[in-house]
Amino acid sequence: MWGGIEAGGTKFVCAVGTGPDDLLEEVRFPTTTPAETIARAVAFFRRHHQAKPLTGVGIGSFGPLDPDPNSPTFGTITTTPKPGWAHTDLAGAVRRALGVRVRFDTDVNAAALGERRWGAAQGLDTFVYLTVGTGIGGGGMANGGLLHGLIHPEMGHIMIPHDWERDPFPGCCPYHGDCWEGLASGSALEARWGKPGDHLPVDHPAWPLEAEYLALGLVNIICVLSPQRVILGGGVMAQTALLPLVRRRVQALLDDYLQAPAIQRQIETYIVPPALGDRAGVLGAIALAQQ
């Protein structure tokens, strides 16, 4: 039996099981203070651990964070602007409370792993998983290994062209202003148009602009990593008219430069939603635990 935590900036999802067809229990609760939130997660796992011992727990967390097992600060959320959470030793707190092995990575790398094991990236060894929600995050695999490197990818903070005439909104990233997340996250949508994305009608000018920004970022990622597939999830993508717009703009911006039938003719199976839906994160955390 394995435990998984999808540690998000607004909610925690915890589950116990071995995979999508074998989840014993799943709980969701809001992310409040570190002490209160971690105590709730630990209490959930402890109850299961006493009934049937857990072999390990995987945590896919918001960040930035330290995913390097050889680092003295492994398992901590590092410089997050989320109040109270900077320098929180999340993995250490869970490991000490339960006495089990804990694996720790970004929420998007965990979700990518879940999609590869059970979802839309099965059989692939180079792909990206992006979530467009409150922020924008990206993870994935290159040549069969989860993307790490110096720290971990921060795809949400790439710089993309910003046409100030078409869009005078300055962007909302506290660090960079008009980086990708600053222009195209759910927070940016809400700040620019005065209401959240799920309150904007399908014919609102917000959507072609959103598709343009998402496509600009995706083209950069496609050109850098050459992913075999792009999985695009998160709350903003709940507007189902958006994904077809993004696909068309990616094709138009690449302009047949990449001679890849997957992009030129089969883009509906190239840029796809997560097959595991909103359980990609917590299932990915279980897959991480099993690694």
Output 108 or 254, the one with its CB closest to Zn ion: 108
Q: How far is the CB of 67 from Zn ion (least distance, A)?
A: 20
Output 128 or 267, the one with its CB closest to Zn ion: 128
Count the Cβ atoms, other than its own, within 10 Å of residue 255. Answer: 8
Output 155 or 280, the one with its CB closest to Zn ion: 155
Contact track, Zn ion, 76-115, x by CB under 5 A: ----------------------------------------
For residue 65, the 8-state DSSP code is: B
Q: How far is the CB of 154 from Zn ion (least distance, A)?
A: 8
User: Which amino acid would we find at residue 148?
Assistant: H
Q: Measured between alpha carbons, how far is residue 248 from residues 54, 111, 216, 251 in Å?
A: 46, 25, 12, 5
Output 179 or 221, the one with its CB closest to Zn ion: 179
In 3D space, the residue among 84, 66, 87 whose CA is nearest the CA of residue 75 turns out to be: 66
Which residue shows structure tokens 């709940």? 238
Which positions from 252 through 271 interact with Zn ion, judged by CB under 5 A? none
Which positions from 6 through 65 interact with Zn ion, judged by CB under 5 A? none
Q: How far is the CB of 173 from Zn ion (least distance, A)?
A: 3
Which positions from 174 through 233 interact with Zn ion, judged by CB under 5 A? 175-176, 179
Q: How far is the CB of 64 from Zn ion (least distance, A)?
A: 11
DSSP 216-260: HHHHHHHHHH--S-EEEESGGGGSTTHHHHHHHHHHHHHTT-S--
Number of residues that bind Zn ion (CB under 5 A): 5
CB 263 within 8 A of CB 255: no
Q: How far is the CB of 217 from Zn ion (least distance, A)?
A: 12
Q: How far is the CB of 190 from Zn ion (least distance, A)?
A: 16
Output 110 or 173, the one with its CB closest to Zn ion: 173
Q: Measured between alpha carbons, how far is residue 222 from residues 25, 118, 215, 231 in Å?
A: 37, 23, 10, 12
Output 188 or 246, the one with its CB closest to Zn ion: 188
Pairwise CA distance, residues 68 & 61, whole Å: 14
Using CB atoms within 10 Å of the CB of residue 97, give its burial: 0 to 12 exposed, 13 to 18 middle, 19+ buried: middle
Which positions from 148 through 177 interact with Zn ion, judged by CB under 5 A? 157, 173, 175-176
Q: Which residues bind Zn ion (CB under 5 A)?
A: 157, 173, 175-176, 179
